[in-house]
Structure 1
Amino acid sequence: MASDDGMGQSLRRIRHARGKSLAVVAGLAGISTSYLSRLESGERALDRRSLIIALARALEVAPSEITRSGVGLSGDLDEDRSLGDVRLSMLQASIGEPGGEVVSSSVLKIRANSVLDAQRRCDYSMVGSELPGLIRDLHTSLAAGRDDEALLKLAVLTHVQGTQAWLSAIGAAPDLAWQASLLARRAAERLDDPLFGAVSAFGTSFGLLSAGGFEPARRLLSAAEPGTATNEAMQVSGMLALTHALVAAAKVDAGSRRAALDQAADLAAHTGDANAMWFGFGPSNVGIWRMSVALEAGDHHEAAAIAETVDPRALAATRQAAYYREYGRALARLPKRQTEAVLMLRRAEKISPARIHRHPFMRAVLTELLARAKKEAVGRELRGMAYRSGLSL
C-alpha cells in the first residue's frame, strides 16, 4: 500500500511551491505562525472546513488541493472496483445517453430502496455494484417518458442519498459527488415539488460547503421551503436546519448556528426518530449533528459532552459510524483522552472502514494522534488504523 503524510505535508508542499513563508500564510489565514507550523507537522489535525478554506485562499489554490489524499482509491476496498462504472453511468446520464433499459417505476423503486437501505447499512460494496445499472435504467426510463413524476422523485433520492452519499463515503473526488448532486437538481427542477426540492438543496449545499461556498449554501438552504404541515415535511425541514447549522459554524456565525440547532431539536421532538426521504432524522441524529457542528466551531469539549448524551444503539449503521468517528475526533483533542479516542475511531472503522481510511478529517486526526504517540509509544490499534489508511508510520 502506498503511504502519505496527510494534509499537513500537502499544505507544506503547496506553501513551499508558492514561495510563501509561514508568517505570510498564517497572517492571511487568520491564525498564528506556530499553529500553522503544527498543522503542517501533523501535530494538529486540519479538520475544520472554515480553516481549510481560509488556508486554500491564503495559498490561492482549490480546497481539494489541500484535502486530496496521497493514497487515492487504490482498490483496497471492494467498493473501489465500482467507481469507474458509477462515474461512466453518471456521465452518460448527464449527456442524455444513459444506455440502459426502460423499466417500470415500481421495479426501479424496489431497486432504489435496496440500494439506499444498503447505504444505511454501510454495505458500500453492494451499493457500488448496483448503482451503475440503476442509474442507466432510471435515466433511460425517464427519457422514454415512463411514469415521469415517480421516476423524477426516484432520481432525486437515488442521486442524493445513494450516489452522492456513496461517493462521499468512499472518499471519491468531490467533483464526482458534485455531479451526482447536479443530476438530482435537474430532476428536482422538473418536479417542482417543495419536498424533493429540499432534498436536492441538501445535496447541493454539501457540494458548496466542500468548495468553500458557505454563503451560496446558506442562501440555497434558506430558499428551500418544505414546510412543516406533515411529519415527513418536518423531518426534511429538520435536516435543512441541521445543514444550516453546519454552514453557520463554518461561517463562524454563532447566533445562526444556535438558532438552527434549536429549530432542528424542536422538530425532532415532534417527529421522533424516523426515516423520511432516507434522512434518518430524529433526536438521536440531531445529537450527532450537534457534535459535528461543535467540532466545526472548534469546541471539542462540547462535542464530547454531547456524545455522552447520545445512545448509538438507536442509530442505523451509517449514523453509528458517524457517531464513533465524531466522538473520537472530539476526544483526540482533549487532555488524557487519546486512548479513548483511538477506541472510538476503531469502532467506527469496524462499521465503515472507508469513513476512516478515506475521509480527510479522519486521516488528519490519525496523523495528530500518531504525532503525539511517537513521543511515547504507538498503540497497536492506532498503528493499525494509520497503516490501513495509508499514512506514514
Structure 2
Amino acid sequence: MTDEPSANDIGRRLRQIRHARGKSLAVVAGLAGISTSYLSRLESGARALDRRSLIVNLANALEVAPSEISGAGLVSPGRLAEDRSLNEVRLALAAAGMHDPRGEIVPVEMLSSRATALLDAQRDCRLELVGAELPLLIRDLHATLEAGHDVSRLLALVHVQGTQAWLTDIGANPDLAWQAVTLAQQAAARADDPFSHAVSAFGTAFGLMAVGAFDLASQALSAPAVGTKTKEAAEVTGMLALTSSLTAAASGNRAEQQAALDHAADLARHTGEGNTLWFGFGPGNVGVWRMSVALEAGDHATAARIATTVTPETLPSATRRATYWREYGRALAHLPRRFEEAVAALRRAEQISPAHVQRHPFMRSVLAELLTKAKRDSAGRELRGMAHRAGLVV
C-alpha cells in the first residue's frame, strides 16, 4: 500500500466527497453550474480542475472548503531541498505572532541588506536559499521591532514577497501563508504609508483568493491609494490592477477583468520594465498575467495565443519565466493536438523552478489530464517523469 497521491488524486477526492455527501452527479453539477458529463470527466481525470472559480463552485455545492477538493498543502514533504526549512519557518511565524520572536536586535541597515538578498533569491527561484535564511530573518526583524526600532515597512515587504511567496511556491498549507499575511497587515498598519498598504493588500488578496473569498479580495485591492505620479507608484498601481483582473476573472466579472488588464497595460507602456517592491511590473509581466487571467476565465486558446506574443527570455526574473512556461503548458494541455508542446512547456518551467510545477495546486490535475493522453514515446516518458516528481503514482 502507498499513501502517495495517485495521478487523478483531485478527481478521486472530488468523487469521494460527493459520495460521502450522498449527492448525485446531476445534483452537484447543477449546483456548480456545469454539465453532468463535464463533472464526470473531472472525477475521472480526463479534464483538469485548474480554475479557482470552479473549485469554489464545486466546494460550495458539496459544502466543504475549497482546499478539501484541491488538496492544497497536501503534497508529501521532503521531495525538494527547501522543504527542510518549512518547520523552522512555521516556528518563527508562531513566535512572531506571540510577540516573543527570540531573535537578535540588528541594525536596520543590516536587516535591509539581508532582506534584499532574500527577496532577490526568491525572485530568482533559489528557494532552498530563501528557506534557509527566512526563519532567522523573521525572528530578527520582529525582535528589532519589539525593541522599538522602525522596521514596519521592511516587515510588510518581507512577509508578502518573501514569506508568503515562498510558502506558496513550495505548496505549504494556505493557512500558514495566511499567518505571514496577518503579520504583514499588522506591519503595514504601523507603517501607515501607501506602499506598505499596497504590499499588504497584494498579499491579502492572494490569501483570500486561496480560500475562494473573491469579493473580499477585490475589496482589499481597492483600499490602497498609491497613485501614478512617479514611476514607482505607477508600477505598484499596475500590479494591483493585474491582481484585480485575476480576482475579477475568478468572480466571472468579465468587464472588470478587461478594464483592469487594460489599465495595467497602459501603465506598463509608460513605466517599462521595473522591479519596485520586487513586483517585477512591466510589459512582459503584463503578458504573463494576461495568460493567467485567460486561464482563470477558462479561455485556453486565448491564453495560448497571448503566450506567442511574449518573449520569455526578456522577462525580468526566473520566477516570471517559470510562470510563463507553466501557464503556457496549462493552456496547451487543454487544446487538441498540442500534447507534445504542452509537455515541453511544462518541462521548461520545471527546469527553471521545480516547485512551480511540482507544488502548484493546479498542476497535479493538469498532469493527470495529460497522462490520460500519454503514449509510450519520448513525450510520454517526460510527462510521467514530471508526474512522478510531483508526487503522483504513475
**TM-score relative to the length of structure 2:** 0.97
AA matched with 1:334: L
String of CA shifts for 1:211-268, please: whole Å, max 9, x gaps: 1111111111112211111111100000000000001101111110110000000010
2:347 corresponding residue in structure 1? 346
Q: 1:288 is paired with a residue of what secondary structure?
A: helix
Contact 1:3-1:71 within 8 A present in 2 as well? no
Q: Are residues 1:392 and 2:381 paired? A: no
AA matched with 2:382: E
How far has the Cα of 1:154 moved from its partner? 0.7
**In the aligned structure 1, how far is the partner of 2:122 from the partner of 2:379?**
33
**In the aligned structure 2, how far is the partner of 1:70 from the partner of 1:140?**
29
Q: 2:129 is paired with a residue of what secondary structure?
A: helix
2:330 corresponding residue in structure 1? 329
2:370 corresponding residue in structure 1? 369
Report matched runs for 1:89-168 at 5 Å. Answer: 89-146=92-149, 148=150, 151-168=151-168
C-alpha RMSD over aligned residues? 1.4
String of CA shifts for 1:273-326, please: whole Å, max 9, x gaps: 110000000000000000000000000110001000101111210000000000
Larger displacement relative to structure 2 (371-380 or 283-292): 371-380
String of CA shifts for 1:148-176, please: whole Å, max 9, x gaps: 1xx11110110000000000000000001
String of CA shifts for 1:32-81, please: whole Å, max 9, x gaps: 11000000111000000000000000010000111116962421111001
Contact 2:101-2:142 within 8 A present in 1 as well? yes
Q: 2:77 is paired with a residue of what secondary structure?
A: coil
**In the aligned structure 2, how far is the partner of 1:339 from the partner of 1:304?**
14
Report the number of matched residues. 390
How far has the Cα of 1:6 moved from its partner? 2.4
**In the aligned structure 1, how far is the partner of 2:125 from the partner of 2:384?**
24
2:219 corresponding residue in structure 1? 219
AA matched with 1:155: L
1:262 corresponding residue in structure 2? 262
AA matched with 2:332: L
Among 2, 5, 12, which residue is 1:3 paired with?
Answer: 5
The list of structure 1 runs, each at least 4 consecutive aligned residues, that deviate by more than 4 angstroms after superposition, is 374-378
Q: Are residues 1:236 and 2:247 paired? A: no
Q: Are residues 1:273 and 2:273 paired? A: yes
**In the aligned structure 2, how far is the partner of 1:205 from the partner of 1:261?**
16
**In the aligned structure 2, how far is the partner of 1:45 from the partner of 1:173?**
21
AA matched with 1:342: V
Contact 1:181-1:207 within 8 A present in 2 as well? yes
**In the aligned structure 2, how far is the partner of 1:29 from the partner of 1:370?**
26
**In the aligned structure 2, how far is the partner of 1:122 from the partner of 1:376?**
31
AA matched with 2:5: S
Judged with a 3 Å threshold, the aligned counterparts in structure 2 of structure 1 residues 47 and 14 are, in CA distance, closer, same or farther, namely same
1:205 corresponding residue in structure 2? 205
AA matched with 1:3: P
String of CA shifts for 1:181-238, please: whole Å, max 9, x gaps: 1110000011110111011000000011111111111111112211111111100000
2:180 corresponding residue in structure 1? 180
How far has the Cα of 1:136 moved from its partner? 0.2
AA matched with 1:367: A
**In the aligned structure 2, how far is the partner of 1:329 from the partner of 1:68?**
18
Contact 1:160-1:199 within 8 A present in 2 as well? yes
Judged with a 3 Å threshold, the aligned counterparts in structure 2 of structure 1 residues 378 and 42 are, in CA distance, closer, same or farther, namely farther
AA matched with 2:388: Y
How far has the Cα of 1:375 moved from its partner? 10
Q: Are residues 1:304 and 2:307 paired? A: no
Judged with a 3 Å threshold, the aligned counterparts in structure 2 of structure 1 residues 12 and 241 are, in CA distance, closer, same or farther, namely same
Judged with a 3 Å threshold, the aligned counterparts in structure 2 of structure 1 residues 257 and 378 are, in CA distance, closer, same or farther, namely same
Structure 2 unmatched runs, 5+: none
Contact 2:86-2:131 within 8 A present in 1 as well? yes
AA matched with 1:177: A
String of CA shifts for 1:366-390, please: whole Å, max 9, x gaps: 0000012269997111010011112
Contact 1:7-1:69 within 8 A present in 2 as well? no
How far has the Cα of 1:7 moved from its partner? 1.1
**In the aligned structure 2, how far is the partner of 1:337 from the partner of 1:123?**
31
How far has the Cα of 1:106 moved from its partner? 0.3
Structure 1 unmatched runs, 5+: none
**In the aligned structure 2, how far is the partner of 1:94 from the partner of 1:3?**
33
Q: 2:372 is paired with a residue of what secondary structure?
A: helix
Task: Give me the identity figure in percent.
Answer: 63
AA matched with 1:352: S
Larger displacement relative to structure 2 (84-93 or 215-224): 215-224
**In the aligned structure 2, how far is the partner of 1:377 from the partner of 1:267?**
43
**In the aligned structure 1, how far is the partner of 2:323 from the partner of 2:17?**
30
Contact 2:161-2:278 within 8 A present in 1 as well? yes
AA matched with 2:155: A
Contact 1:73-1:80 within 8 A present in 2 as well? no
Q: 1:320 is paired with a residue of what secondary structure?
A: helix
Q: 1:392 is paired with a residue of what secondary structure?
A: coil
**In the aligned structure 1, how far is the partner of 2:368 from the partner of 2:377?**
15
**TM-score relative to the length of structure 1:** 0.97
Contact 1:73-1:171 within 8 A present in 2 as well? no
1:196 corresponding residue in structure 2? 196
1:77 corresponding residue in structure 2? 80
